[in-house]
Structure 1
């Protein structure tokens, strides 16, 4: 539901962003150099009715088990409030889509409304293959007339649900009948994966799951609307990039290569000089487990010298699929990255070269997505409630301030606090 109070805040904020462009800036600044810097601007998606079909068949929707949609919506609202209390400005996809369209009762900005209408048109399918050529042509015009009358809220519903109307002709009533289906973007609330935010700006990814392909288009539209023009969009055969595999870390960046992100996409990041760092550590995952599909499902960063890693992944057994090895690329003065080392032990790299202490995450805590926390400042994290006393004690001993949030339903899609946010700006 569109929140009028939120709309006032978002409208004011977006006006300041657009004002920056009008004053001559081609784009609005975004970027993050370090995962442990203070989170200032976060993009999320507040989930809603688009989840219904996923609740009926969770596995096909990339969920682990059945979700309670009202509970999930409430959990996300609570999480957004916690993010704001941590000092971040939180934008939602729905707010951005509706901003300036008159959905809040204010006069509509005609350009914003028409842009939304054109964008939504790409998500509405009239299947006319069973119609005569004459009737099919009429339906093309009919579709446009319907879109022209559709309210902003319903345009957003079209985007989130992707309705498909399969038409056929009859000899009675209106002369037409239809079968209705939809292809909703049920995983959009995991806004981490559709893009990455580097020190230089935003790069739109390329999803490795067909259920999630449209999410990249939606977030790109939102970013461009608020003046954050992406630097690049990953493309090409075999090139896949998902944001859960990426961490900025000062003059270093970590990126996972495995089940979801592939080497051709990583090569594109280096070829186009999009990272804004001089060292790239490519962490190679050979486990290929749905529960550990991204780097952020088993590794995370709390501070410049403190990280977490699922304990099982700390193995040095060369025959274990849990073993993590890394390739290291260095950027030369000419801007070209060169692989300088191959198959370096990731644990040893963290300890000896990064100088980081590692907090091991037990299997029990990993199953509750303990490692998928969001760092909102140095040694300040937001994590999933219900972790072991041993982990809570260790974090406290390390001087880590933790806000625990109940995310029981939100976690049923194999992601938690980190997966549900895209930090666009850190300080």
Structure 2
């Protein structure tokens, strides 16, 4: 089987996406009780409500025509395994299994990679040694340009290895991430940058490097800025389902208004238990494998 990864960007029409649903990631009340504090969830997720919220996410993905691949359970996986975006990286040479910056998540990449490899999706390799990379710190601008954030979850050694696995024609442009709330916080490049189209992105400039903003502007990308009061409610964590078609978390009315004013079709989901408590929004819960 030859798997077609399609277009290397973060806004093309979503064709194939890997997810791990609530029943697999959260599993039971006992598992939630045992893990949520250690994983730095803000409060305990409610399993019944999380199931309802996640069903709505899957409904949106199916409605936009995406093929959904359900990832399996595995030894050592935690509640965080619902956030599949971080634990695999798509490159022109195949999937790369990252070494996660958060130690509790280190087993996810092997479980996810092995499951997809069995389906015939090629795996190019993995990040090893002292290297660290998480998918949320990476944004494809085009087939040859990958933006990366360097911080507590992704380091330069990880990006060096990723560059070798992705191929010599891929340029990785990296930017330092701010300390912000510290090592225990879930903060990635995509926490403040979510592309919506080739020329449009949702951004939160106060936490972005000047060099990064200037690069995006040089590529003709216009900004929809998230207001300060909507950053903590995940206003910037927006998943492009296709060009100017996106999924976002309820409770960010001004960001939603600005998106619609720019011609973006917006799908709003309730994310109280599956998103806000673990700081993982629509982007985090999905690992796009192919875009059109």
TM-score (norm 2): 0.90
Could you list the runs of 5+ residues in structure 1 that have no partner in the other structure?
A: 1-20, 22-26, 95-155, 163-182, 315-323, 326-344
Between stretches 248-257 and 226-235, larger displacement belongs to: 248-257
Q: Does 1:302 align with 2:166?
A: no
SS of equivalent to 1:266 = helix
Deviation at 1:294, TM superposition (A): 1.0
Aligned to 2:140: 248
Aligned to 2:238: 373
Q: Does 1:398 align with 2:259?
A: no
CA distance in 2, matches of 1:221, 1:191: 14
CA distance in 2, matches of 1:421, 1:51: 23
Q: Does 1:265 align with 2:158?
A: yes
Note the aligned Cα RMSD (angstroms): 2.0
Aligned to 1:382: 247
Q: Does 1:71 align with 2:49?
A: yes
Q: Does 1:195 align with 2:88?
A: yes
Aligned to 2:79: 186
CA distance in 1, matches of 2:30, 2:168: 38
Aligned to 2:12: 37
Aligned to 1:222: 115
Deviation at 1:350, TM superposition (A): 1.6
- Deviation string 1:147-171 (CA, Å, 9 cap, x unpaired) is xxxxxxxxx5xx3xx4xxxxxxxxx
Over 3 Å counting, the alpha-carbon distance change for 1:276 and 1:186 in structure 2 is farther
Over 3 Å counting, the alpha-carbon distance change for 1:31 and 1:207 in structure 2 is farther
SS of equivalent to 1:61 = coil
Could you list the runs of 5+ residues in structure 2 that have no partner in the other structure?
A: none
SS of equivalent to 2:21 = coil
CA distance in 2, matches of 1:53, 1:392: 34
- Deviation string 1:362-397 (CA, Å, 9 cap, x unpaired) is 222111111111101111111111212x32221122
CA distance in 1, matches of 2:17, 2:92: 15
Larger radius of gyration: 1
Q: 2:213 aligns with which of 318, 336, 347?
A: 347
Over 3 Å counting, the alpha-carbon distance change for 1:275 and 1:199 in structure 2 is farther
SS of equivalent to 2:80 = coil
Q: 2:125 aligns with which of 232, 238, 243?
A: 232
CA distance in 1, matches of 2:10, 2:157: 24
Deviation at 1:272, TM superposition (A): 3.5
Aligned to 1:123: none
CA distance in 1, matches of 2:7, 2:20: 20
Over 3 Å counting, the alpha-carbon distance change for 1:231 and 1:225 in structure 2 is same
Number of residue pairs the alignment of both structures matches = 285
TM-score (norm 1): 0.63
Aligned to 1:409: 273
User: In 2, are the aligned partners of 1:35 and 1:249 still within 8 Å (CA)?
Assistant: yes
Deviation at 1:39, TM superposition (A): 0.6
- Deviation string 1:128-147 (CA, Å, 9 cap, x unpaired) is xxxxxxxxxxxxxxxxxxxx
